[in-house]
Structure 1
Amino acid sequence: MAEQDIKVIIPAFNEADSIASVIAEIPKSVSEIIVVNNNSTDKTAENAAIAGATVLTENRMGYGYACLKGMDYISKQSKAPDIIVFVDGDYSDYPEELNQIVAPIIDEGFDLVIGARVKRLREEGSMTPQQIFGNWLATFLMKVLFGATFTDLGPFRAIRYDKLLALGMEDKTYGWTVEMQLKALKKKMQYTEVPVRYKKRIGVSKVSGTVKGSIFAGIKILGWIFKYSIK
């Protein structure tokens, strides 16, 4: 693991209660943890800095905006990393599983690895019914339309840095994860999934925890899928 330069990007909006725990459990194989404070009104930025992360500020609200901010910061560094890992700041993932997620890239030559939140490893109630259905529908459509083998749109994921740049990521909000997977399919990148554990998040989800968030996320995800199906 030490031979690979791995950086982590964590988009975070009002995750003051969880962000330090996420940072603390990320393996030492990571060279830098980048928390993008996405217009938080609590102590997310302060707690992340105390925990040892590099803290950036992105005031434009949106998951994709935060991820792009982290990528922009990395692009200005003198040395490019080998692998980028994305993980949420709500402590629903198990950050210590990061080495398992990057292993297929390092050991087997994959370009993209998705942490799949399989049912047998999920804490009961950790995913809402709309999340479960949305993931099933999106991955089913990707299978039918593109022959994909994805089973999840899980946010805990790793990708080779050069491949990430090649994707030309552009979504600013809810469609970030599905855009990455669709573009990886279009570019015929080598991908796989690694089963990961998943637990109830700390606090309330800003997306699946609200009707508005769930609707907008669903529209964005389906929009990306159908956009690529007609190209």
Structure 2
Amino acid sequence: MIKPLIKVIIPAYNEQDSIANVINDIPNIVEEVIVISNNSTDNTEINAQKAGATVLTESRKGYGYACLKGMEYIENQAILDPHHIPDIIVFLDGDYSDYPEQLIELIEPILKDDIDFVIGARVKNLREEGSMTPQQIFGNWLATFLMKMFFGAKFTDLGPFRAIKYPKLLALNMEDKTYGWTVEMQLKALKQKLSYVEIPMKYRNRIGVSKVSGTVKGSIFAGIKILGWIFKYSFK
């Protein structure tokens, strides 16, 4: 991949205060930034468009629904024009907790070492204090511990900032509609024996309140979904 074609998918629900910052910090090696407004009721869509992103809407609430909408858009593009088939897809949150400029570091293992899948790991020494809630930290530990125990995985995080070769992404046949999207991708990558690495990433306090880890209900449902995927694959 001398000049890879890269597209970024950003699910966003009411991220009007952060979305332009995210888009503006994405390196210009990216061919297209696709923001999926997941039933937003604020100015997320307007601000994303002004910042230069392609904006789609998905009325069904759920992180996975938004990601699948972005993938569907890319697939339809490829049908109409094969020159639009990307080499790499990057997933990134719209809350500005990740550092979009680190996308260069994220995709480097794919470009230099032909790795299939890269996770941006939110390591403790690079995390801003308070940027991850106690339930997030525990949930990440438990999920990655179980993946190690059942599958011999080396993951340490379920970080949403991730990059994957486009053909490998299609082969995963992603299906989760809500909170289990990230862990489903990692489990299927393990099952299909994709090569993967983690890259330590900086992480800061998000702009606004998290719709998942910021609520008791969101944390409980996310935990149930993540554990459900792990045990489903453990006994297949």
TM-score of the two chains, using structure 2 as the length reference: 0.97
Matched to 1:52, the amino acid is G
Encode CA deviations 1:128-153: one digit per residue, 9 max, x unaligned: 00000000000000000000000000
Residues in 1 aligned to 2:30 and 2:127: alpha-carbon distance in whole angstroms: 25
Deviation at 1:21, TM superposition (A): 0.2
Cross-structure match for 1:75: 75
1:151 aligns with 2:165: no
Distance 1:120 1:178 in 2: 23
SS of corresponding position for 1:76:
helix
The 2-side partners of 1:191 and 1:70 are apart by 23
Query: Where in structure 1 are there 5+ consecutive unaligned residues?
Result: none
Partner residue in 2 for 1:86: 91
Number of equivalent positions:
231
2:174 matched residue in structure 1: 169
Match of 1:123 among 113, 123, 128: 128
Q: Does the alignment pair 1:215 with 2:220? A: yes
* Cα shift at 1:2: 6.5
In 2, Cα distance between the equivalents of 1:89 and 1:15?
Answer: 6
Distance verdict in 2 for CA 1:83–1:119, change over 3 Å: same
CA distance in 2, matches of 1:52, 1:45: 11
Task: List runs of 5+ in structure 2 lacking aligned partners.
Answer: none
Tell me if the contact between 1:2 and 1:29 (Cα under 8 Å) persists in the aligned partners: no
Matching residue of 2:108: 103
What is the DSSP-based 3-state SS (H/G/I as helix, E as strand, rest coil) of the residue aligned with 2:31?
strand
The CA distance in 1 between the partners of 2:194 and 2:89, in whole Å, is 16
CA distance in 2, matches of 1:175, 1:187: 18
SS in 1 for 2:90: strand
Distance (whole Å) between structure 2 residues aligned to residue 80 and residue 133 of structure 1:
38
| Aligned pair partner of 1:187 in 183, 186, 192 | 192
How large is the RMSD of aligned CA atoms in angstroms?
Answer: 0.7
Q: 1:156 to 1:73 in 2, by over 3 A?
A: same
Partner of 1:8: 8
Match of 1:139 in 2: 144
Matching residue's letter, 1:47: N
CA-CA distance at 1:97 after TM superposition: 0.1
CA distance in 2, matches of 1:4, 1:107: 12
What is the CA–CA distance in structure 2 between the aligned matches of 1:61 and 1:106, rounded to whole Å? 34
Task: Tell me if structure 2 keeps the 8 A contact 1:111–1:159.
Answer: yes
Q: Distance in 2 between matches of 1:163 and 1:86?
A: 14
Distance 1:14 1:169, change over 3 A: same
2:85 and 2:51 map into 1 onto residues whose CA distance is 24
Could you say if the C-alpha distance between residues 203 and 2 of structure 1 is closer, same or farther in structure 2, counting changes exceeding 3 Å? farther
Q: Does 1:40 align with 2:45?
A: no
Q: TM-score scaled to structure 1, two decimals?
A: 0.99
- Alignment-mate amino acid for residue 52 of structure 2: G
1:140 aligned counterpart, secondary structure? helix
Identity of aligned residues (%): 75
Asked if 1:66 corresponds to 2:71, the answer is no
